[in-house]
């Protein structure tokens, strides 16, 4: 794929007309979706368009959604505020981008050494997470839904090999969310930026390493062209949930059946997005190794252990945060993680460890 095709942005001059209030005529509504992604970026960009289309289809045309990619109406990092303020109706992004709004938000996207994709939606559905999700986002006039997951992310692209914890100190590294706090505790110089900026920073030497998502999205952005060492496991993000947040006033104005359309569109997309990531990641990784000379490398156990200790500090700080809602969210997350973690030793962990043995299948 042509990396540059995912880095272009549309004309901002159309913003004034496109961000007008939604049209309502003969019981039909037109909503504006803004996203944090380049248009049709494999992974999140594709998923955002799928969500817009699914809402339009399930509503029978009564609620249509027009998608605008990052930079077409607002910058990717501005979608939260645009929907909160009512200048757009809904956005597609990831919770990991909104830590400056509330530390508690970060737990709904990914957590270092935290929940897998299925566990994440399990926490929200059966562990009290959705009520906390609603409460935090409600402070900003938003109604949030999970609508996809990338599955396990990678530790990322490194210009040089990592052999010890000492190699991390001072390393200029791109990541987001709670993973950035974990890395900072190990002395890494963490920077937040979009995928296109990460490519340019790796190319120029402004970054030594960085993670974005995983093989499918990463290959489209061409990171293998500027850094050949691709490290796993991505312990900073065992999964990364994608979200749709709707302006609460616009959502509240919908009739009950259209509210259900939005909810079902998001929840039904979660598995579709997650399983497509899994399938495309596997295909893209093989291609990068076979054709682009990518070196797949495992983090040394010493490094994983040090990251685990740092992650424990990050979660401990959330449990003692000054904000009472953040503390409650962290307590709920930890309780759910401990409960399903104990079970997974016998269930998924046992199955995957058994499958990893060499058999002529």
Give the residue ranges of the annotated binding site.
153, 174, 211-212, 237
Start-to-end C-alpha separation, the chain: 34
Distance of CA 286 to the CA centre of its chain: 23
CA distances from 319 to 104, 109, 282 (A): 10, 17, 36
Nearest-10 crossing angle of helices 129-138, 117-126: 80
The secondary structure of residue 236, as a DSSP letter, is T
Distance of CA 264 to the CA centre of its chain: 20
Of 234, 227, 220, 349, the residue nearest 285 (C-alpha): 220
Tokens at residue 354, please?
């058994």
Rounded distance, CA 262 to CA 146, Å?
Answer: 11
Of 146, 102, 160, the residue nearest 329 (C-alpha): 102
Annotated binding site for Na(+): 212
Of 4, 147, 22, 5, the residue nearest 89 (C-alpha): 22
CA distances from 326 to 56, 277, 331 (A): 35, 30, 9
Rounded distance, CA 110 to CA 105, Å?
Answer: 10
Annotated binding site for substrate: 153, 174, 211, 237
Rounded distance, CA 260 to CA 262, Å?
Answer: 5
Please state whether 218 falls in left (phi above 0), alpha (psi between -120 and 50) or beta.
alpha
Place of tokens 């700080």: 317
Tokens at residue 1, please?
């794929």
Of 150, 161, 180, 350, the residue nearest 270 (C-alpha): 150
């Amino acid at each position: 794929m042509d990396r540059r095709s995912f880095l272009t942005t549309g004309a901002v001059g159309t913003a004034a007309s496109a961000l007008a209030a939604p049209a309502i005529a003969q019981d039909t509504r037109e909503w504006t979706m803004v996203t944090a992604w380049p248009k049709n970026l494999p992974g999140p960009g594709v998923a955002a368009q799928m969500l817009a289309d699914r809402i339009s289809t399930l509503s029978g045309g009564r609620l249509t959604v027009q998608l605008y990619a990052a930079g077409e109406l607002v910058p990717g990092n501005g979608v939260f505020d645009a929907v909160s303020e009512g200048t757009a109706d809904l956005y597609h992004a990831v919770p990991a981008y909104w830590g400056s709004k509330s530390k508690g938000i970060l737990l709904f996207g990914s957590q270092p050494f935290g929940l897998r994709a299925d566990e994440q939606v399990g926490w929200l559905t059966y562990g009290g997470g959705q009520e906390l999700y609603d409460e935090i986002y409600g402070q900003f006039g938003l109604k949030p839904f999970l609508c996809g997951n990338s599955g396990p992310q990678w530790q990322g692209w490194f210009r040089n090999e990592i052999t010890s914890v000492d190699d991390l100190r001072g390393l200029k590294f791109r990541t987001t969310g709670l993973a950035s706090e974990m890395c900072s505790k190990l002395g890494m110089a963490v920077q937040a930026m979009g995928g296109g900026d990460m490519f340019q920073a790796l190319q120029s030497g402004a970054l030594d390493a960085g993670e974005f998502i995983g093989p499918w999205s990463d290959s489209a952005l061409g990171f293998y062209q500027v850094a050949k060492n691709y490290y796993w496991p991505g312990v900073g993000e065992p999964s990364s949930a994608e979200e749709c947040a709707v302006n609460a006033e616009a959502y509240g104005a919908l009739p009950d059946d259209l509210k259900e359309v939005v909810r079902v569109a998001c929840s039904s997309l979660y598995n579709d997005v997650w399983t497509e990531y899994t399938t495309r990641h596997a295909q893209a990784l093989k291609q990068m190794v076979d054709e682009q000379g990518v070196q797949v490398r495992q983090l040394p156990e010493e490094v994983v252990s040090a990251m685990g200790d740092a992650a424990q500090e990050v979660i401990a700080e959330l449990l003692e945060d000054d904000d009472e809602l953040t503390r409650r969210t962290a307590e709920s997350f930890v309780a759910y993680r401990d409960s399903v973690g104990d079970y997974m030793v016998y269930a998924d962990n046992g199955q995957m460890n058994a499958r990893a043995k060499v058999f002529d299948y």
